[in-house]
Amino acid sequence: MTGVPGVPDAFPVYGEADWRSAVEAALKGASFDRLISQTSDGIRLQPLYPGREGPRAIRGDAAPWRAFARVDHPDPGGANEQALEDLAGGADGLQVVFAGAGGAYGFGLGRHDSATLHRAFEGVRFPATRFELDLGAEAEAQAIAFAGLVERLGEQPSGVSVAFGLDPIGALARSGRAASSLAAEGPALAELALSLKAKGFAGPFVAADARWAHAAGGTPAQELAVALSAAVAYLRALSQNGFALADAAAAISFRLAADCDQFVTLSKFRAMRLLWARVLQACGLAPRPARIHAESAWRMMTARDPYVNVMRGAMAAFAAGLGGADSVSVLPFTQALGLPDALARRLARNTQLILLQESNLGFVADPAAGAGAFEALTDALCGTAWALFQLLEAEGGATRALRDGGFQQAIAEAGVKLARDVATLRAPLTGVSAHPDLAEARAEVLPAAPPAFSYPGEAVAPPAAAVRVAAAFERLRDASDAAWQRDRARPGVFLATIGAPAAHGRRVGFARELFEAGGLATDADAAGAETAEEAAARFAASGASIACLCGDDQSYADKGEHFAAVLKRAGARYVILAGKPGEREEAWRAAGVDDFVFAGCDALGALERVYRRLGVAF
């Protein structure tokens, strides 16, 4: 007996078939497949999963993840202010970003001489701070210089936690250039790691950094696969040049991007641990938790309505932390606008502190374990990534695949699909392609010039360019702002409404948001016109040259074509219909309709056509 009135001793046990039957009844004849979606890797996401047991994906330390802050000011004095303020504000560690690094995004320390580094880290308590070096165009010299700084300060290297982040494969992917002095296949990488180890540093010394793959549009499985292939290349290089195999494995860390798709991101970080464990097992090594650093994804950052980035960063940190990342850094919300100021950095730092200290999310090891949806997605990512990893290895490893350019091409193809999803609003961007604010004020950033740098070495591969998915829409917004600054008026579209507001309201709302996503002002006839002549008169009075018809299906059937023809005669250079053309597209076009906008259309393409017709460069 439960001893609680009204609570039975046992509840009925229902299986998956029972739940599916109940769901199908609720669908009232609609296909169950409507509830199934796919990830960018083609993994099917079911609406219902049974609970299941799986291997635990846990951090090496029995502790919450560590909140890192970026040190990326080009000036050493500015970098010092960043470091001291973030550490005093609760950061556990510093991601030291050099110019040209994978996480520089236009900034980073421009020099690495002794005086620069001493000034940048003056007052920092090295034994109490963890460091993640995000090395740039001169990675070898930067790593040596930072190690020298620790020694000159009189600190014991064994007492300072530094992940050196040597990553020639990632540098090759980002720049397309191979530095002859530091290659993944040669002994130089191992020699440098051995010299750092001989000084007393514990490492890790090299990083399988796959953030570049995500930034270039890659899928989660592609990111995992290239990280694993790079790690295996480093494992070979170190173990064949002075490291014992177990020590070589311990010298390697991982870096992944975390975006705001919390289900996929959480599962991706779990999968990274399981994949590395499989490699260690194949090498005959005892299990050793991977060391993983997460950074919130560059490609999801927006320059428009950047305040939404605070939430994106929070979801990314949440997912990466619960997925098992050892440390996480969150890009400040103005990163896409320039060098973030103290407010943006404080919000990025406090985002993690709320998750860790107020929500207590870091005190449970692998909280997704046993949850059917996460276990299934983790397994599927492992399987897909392992298959891609095998293909990379069959081609000769990550370096060979990058030199051949095939892997970059595969990532570019994934990026094209992602861009298509953004353009068609299948993947909406809040504040950019959805719910834009044309009157938003520009957020403040620091007046810092990006440092100059160049990658050494010979050009041997096509570089993987980092892109923000919002950039295409933001380019149109920039053109609109330029017109406003020049003419005190934005390019615009007149929304010619048919009938009463109840008839045209839904499509007016859709059209207004779509056009404003491209920076186009909209002037809607709120009352609605009963006759085409009435609509034409209001269009002429608006001063616009482009009109968009908005009405319901019945209005379109009764008089839509007549409205289009009269608007055209009234001077509309371009007439758009809000709605699908259907079987009457030919008749619509004959009446004067030039284009159609509807849910699922190429919204970006439609906006670009409007700009071209208006003669506004973008």
List, in order of start, the domains of the chain with CATH numbers: 67-423 (3.20.20.240), 473-614 (3.40.50.280)
**Which whole number is the average pLDDT over 21-41?**
88
- Distance, in Å, from the CA atom of 222 to the CA atom of 226, rounded to the nearest integer, reads 6
Nearest-10 crossing angle of helices 406-423, 603-614: 80
pLDDT digits (tens, 9 = 90+) for 280-338: 999 999 989 999 999 999 999 999 999 999 999 999 999 999 999 999 999 999 999 99
Compute the residue count for the chain.
Answer: 618
Q: How confident is the model at residue 2 (pLDDT cuts 50, 70, 90)?
A: low
- Distance, in Å, from the CA atom of 327 to the CA atom of 362, rounded to the nearest integer, reads 11
Q: Is the pLDDT of residue 5 over 80?
A: no
Structure tokens at 244: 């014992």
**Which whole number is the average pLDDT over 110-130?**
97
Q: Is the pLDDT of residue 185 over 50?
A: yes
Contact in structure between 326 and 292 (CB atoms under 8 Å): yes
DSSP category for residue 216: T
Q: Is the pLDDT of residue 487 over 80?
A: yes
Contact in structure between 231 and 276 (CB atoms under 8 Å): yes
pLDDT digits (tens, 9 = 90+) for 72-105: 999 999 999 999 999 999 999 999 999 999 999 9
Task: Give the CA count within 13 Å in the CB-facing half-sphere of 87.
Answer: 22
Q: Is the pLDDT of residue 457 over 70?
A: yes
DSSP category for residue 582: G
Q: What is the pLDDT of residue 51?
A: 81
Contact in structure between 196 and 203 (CB atoms under 8 Å): yes
**Which whole number is the average pLDDT over 515-534?**
95
pLDDT digits (tens, 9 = 90+) for 166-181: 999 999 999 999 876 6
DSSP category for residue 324: T
Q: How confident is the model at residue 152 (pLDDT cuts 50, 70, 90)?
A: very high
Q: Return the C-alpha torsion angle 104, 325, 469, 524, nearest 10.
A: -120
Q: Is the pLDDT of residue 155 over 70?
A: yes
- Map residue 331 onto helix, strand or coil: coil
Average of per-residue pLDDT values in the chain: 95
Q: How confident is the model at residue 3 (pLDDT cuts 50, 70, 90)?
A: low
Task: Give the CA count within 13 Å in the CB-facing half-sphere of 377.
Answer: 29
Contact in structure between 531 and 563 (CB atoms under 8 Å): no
Q: Is the dihedral of CA 360, 364, 365, 371 positive or negative?
A: negative
Q: What is the pLDDT of residue 8?
A: 67
CA-based R_g, the chain, Å: 28
Q: How far is CA 349 from the centre of its chain?
A: 18
Q: Is the pLDDT of residue 600 over 90?
A: yes
β partners of residue 547: 494, 575
> DSSP labels for 24-83?
HHHHTT--GGGG-EE-TT--EE-S------------SSSSPPEEEEEE--SSHHHHHHHH
Structure tokens at 611: 């700009």
DSSP category for residue 430: B
Task: Give the CA count within 13 Å in the CB-facing half-sphere of 79.
Answer: 28
Structure tokens at 563: 């409205």
Structure tokens at 436: 């834009």
β partners of residue 497: 550
- Map residue 455 onto helix, strand or coil: coil
Structure tokens at 593: 């309709």
Which residue type, as a one-letter code, is found at position 86? Answer: D
Look-up: residue for tokens 């490893």?
A: 397
Q: How confident is the model at residue 1 (pLDDT cuts 50, 70, 90)?
A: very low
Q: Which of 54-63, 77-86, 214-223, 461-470 has the lowest mean pLDDT?
A: 54-63
**Which whole number is the average pLDDT over 350-372?**
94
